[in-house]
Amino acid sequence: MRPFRFRTYPGSPRVPLTGRDLALPGDLAGALATRASVRDFELRPMGIERLGRLLFASNGVLGTRQVDGMTAYARSTPSAGGLYPLELYIVCQSFENLPDGIYHYDARSHELEQRRLGMFHGTLSDLTIGQEMIREANLVIVITALFFRTMWKYGQRGYRYVWLDAGHLGQNLYLVAQALGLAPVAIGGFFDHEVNQLLMLPADEDSIYLMCIGQPKKASNPPA
């Protein structure tokens, strides 16, 4: 049986987002030329519209079409079979008009679903084996996977496809963040089970990749 194509949390408070378009201030050539991992952030307030544009351009639903009598959802990243097994969770701090906490991004409605309120950046720094730059970043995006969403069709090969999808999405986040004047850095080392617990993930969902995104210091050293 085909699993649901979108994760939602019925009854959770929702925050509508703006920026449901691809009107990025930079161009692709510029983003590619300047793309870099940055670990030197300056924590200061950020507008929520910037977050909305980052999420939509990276992983939002751009439209729908009919394929073999079924609705297919178009996004800016490729996905094996158009199945899109990945979800995004946002751990944020110092956003205007958005309480600090953990949210799930509903890509279909372009809304945030509240999961937990509070400050969790210090906890995430500990769970990523001492990635201290997290404490000064406005957000950490946790990419999670529902492996069965792809494996129901492709079997064991589908497990590999999910990781390929994560790579596509990670590069999108890098380039869109760069175009928005933000500083990204990917994190692959973390305590899986503990991060799952922090996000209160359902049993069929796992954290697989983290993207730390902040505002670069105006006089920082050149990124590595």
| Position 9 in a domain | no
Q: Which domain holds residue 120?
A: 14-214
| Position 166 in a domain | yes
CA distance 202 to 104: 12
- Mean pLDDT over each residue of the chain, to the nearest integer: 94
Q: Are 73 and 86 in contact (CB under 8 A)?
A: no
Number of domains in the chain: 1
CA distance 93 to 102: 9
* Chain segment 57-87, per-residue pLDDT in tens: 999 999 988 877 778 899 999 999 999 999 9
| Position 141 in a domain | yes
DSSP-assigned beta bridge partners for residue 185: 212
| Position 6 in a domain | no
Three-state DSSP class for residue 104: strand
Residue 220: per-residue pLDDT: 47
| Position 2 in a domain | no
| Position 224 in a domain | no
pLDDT for residue 222 is more than 80: no
Cα Rg of the chain, angstroms: 17
Tell me what percent of the residues of the chain surpass a pLDDT of 90: 86
| Position 222 in a domain | no
CATH no. for residue 173? 3.40.109.10
Q: Are 36 and 141 in contact (CB under 8 A)?
A: no
* Chain segment 9-28, per-residue pLDDT in tens: 999 999 999 999 999 998 88
Cα(first)–Cα(last) distance of the chain, in Å? 46
Three-state DSSP class for residue 42: coil
* Chain segment 170-181, per-residue pLDDT in tens: 999 999 999 999
| Position 131 in a domain | yes
